[in-house]
Amino acid sequence: MLSISEAEARAAALIEAAKKAGADAADVLYVADASTGIQVRLGALEDVERSEGEEIGLRFFVGRRSASVSSSDLSRDALEALVERAAAMAREAPEDDFAGLAPEDRLLKGPGVQIDGDDGGDPLPTELKARAQAMEDVARSAAGITNSEGAGVSAGRSVMALATSHGFCRGYTTSGYSASVSVIAGSGGGMQRDSASHSVRHWNDLDDPEVLGKLAAERTLARLNPAKLGSGSMPVVFDRRAGSSLIGHLIGAITGAAIARKTSFLLGREDERIFQPGIVIRDDPHRPRGLRSKPFDGEGLGTRPTDIVADGRLTGWLLDSASARQLGLEPTGHAIRGVTGSPGAGATNVELRPGSLGKAELIADIGRGIYVTELIGQGVNPITGDYSRGASGFIIENGEIGASVAEITIAGNLIDMFSTLTPADDLEYRRAVNVPTFRIEGMTVAGA
């Protein structure tokens, strides 16, 4: 794997080659990854994976025509052929009035924000195996746990560099570690499974094996003997694990491509209050050690924290340069991309800011409702906002969380759901999209 300076030099050299081949503009993205993963089951080693790879992508512009090509072979001959192929393809491509690099005056200048995304660690495979075994041992030792789906721990590192023909050339590295364990309780048709996991940038931030193993066992045992539930309209409370997906639907609906193509249920609602007053949803690419933190976006624009919802109001769209041109707006520093194709737009570390109520207070006045811990399927219409998904969790009765429930369906419309969302005060930063427990009124629930 190349160092940051070596990756930057490799990307800059390919830019120069593209310009010599007749490119009016070009950008290059270099990405390299290396990772090791260990999987154990029932105390025995089940799988060991080691992967290393690097890839470089070139976007070549001739006027408003462009082509994107990539290669995992970084030899001189391969890169020369890459440039030749990109030039030939670009000259035959159709014109696109909105294609092009990001505005030069919007590029990141000066030092970027330090995201503390790489701890420089390199744990041995034996350390990964020991951690995985310890997690599974704790989970399996709980009374009532009857089997295991296994435990895994992985460690990796990535380096990326972006260069453009109008002078941008930067790179950065990130490390990544994850741990997960999944176990089974019960037998026959009454078996239930659940899991616990954690992903971080720094090895020392990873939850202890005992914590994850105990949590996986507790979650699994709580799901035994699910009760039957009658259908009806009732409040639904989303656990932090399940609730993040609803904010994901919001993010997808405010990306530039969805707005430009008119395929968003939020089209025309810019600056409208779509949540209750006081609700704040923030995108923070500068969070130290955040899973998606980055000093610049996929086009070289500096990133900055943004409230995408402020006091319940939608503040605007997440825009890359192409969608911004199409909408007559300015890019927002939210471009995301891979080594092939054109950039799109997306968020980084997203958080629904906590409310003032504790979790117990949030459910105290619910006579009958559902506490959702898992969502199943993809039943969301991005154009209308209609929402219908399979779910499992627990019945709420007289303000208390009671028996488990499985194979139910919850339905509503995202606009209506957002308008009644009430967050609790228990926000934790464990994912790319972080939410506290929250409650939504009047959803349609179909029991098993």
Mean pLDDT (the chain, rounded):
96
Instruction: Over range 14-38, report the average pLDDT.
Output: 97
Give the whole-angstrom CA distance, residue 289 versus residue 439: 29
User: Which residue, among 246, 250, 248, 239, has the nearest Cα to 370 in the 3D structure?
Assistant: 239
pLDDT in tens, 342-364: 999 999 999 999 999 999 999 99
The residue to which tokens 């089951």 are assigned: 41
Give the whole-angstrom CA distance, residue 68 versus residue 317: 26
∠ CA 115-118-124, nearest 5°, is 160
Burial degree of 142 (CB within 10 A; 0-12, 13-18, 19+): middle
The overall longest dimension of the chain from CA atoms, in Å, is 73
Tokens of 203: 């090895």
The residue to which tokens 């890459």 are assigned: 82
Give the whole-angstrom CA distance, residue 327 versus residue 257: 10
Q: How high is the pLDDT of residue 111?
A: 84
Q: How high is the pLDDT of residue 448?
A: 65
Tokens of 339: 């080594």
pLDDT in tens, 258-277: 999 999 999 999 999 999 99
For every residue of 89-134, DSSP letters joined together read HHHHSPP-TT-SPPPGGGB--SPPP-----------HHHHHHHHHH
Band of residue 189 on the pLDDT scale cut at 50, 70, 90: confident
User: Which residue, among 316, 315, 205, 326, has the nearest Cα to 257 in the 3D structure?
Assistant: 326
Q: How high is the pLDDT of residue 224?
A: 95
Give the whole-angstrom CA distance, residue 405 versus residue 68: 49
pLDDT in tens, 210-246: 999 999 999 999 999 999 888 999 999 999 999 999 9
Strand order in the sheet with 281-283: 313-314, 306-310, 281-283, 350-352, 433-434
Give the whole-angstrom CA distance, residue 155 versus residue 199: 10
Phi, psi of 39 (to 5 degrees): -125, 130
Q: How high is the pLDDT of residue 447?
A: 82
Give the whole-angstrom CA distance, residue 399 versus residue 366: 5
Phi, psi of 12 (to 5 degrees): -65, -40
Phi, psi of 338 (to 5 degrees): -110, -170
Contact in structure between 290 and 406 (CB atoms under 8 Å): no
* In the chain, where the domains are located: 4-220, 226-448
Q: How high is the pLDDT of residue 226?
A: 93
Which class in CATH covers the domain with range 4-220? alpha beta
User: Would you give the distance in Å from CA 442 to the centre of its chain?
Assistant: 28
Q: How high is the pLDDT of residue 428?
A: 95
Q: How high is the pLDDT of residue 379?
A: 87
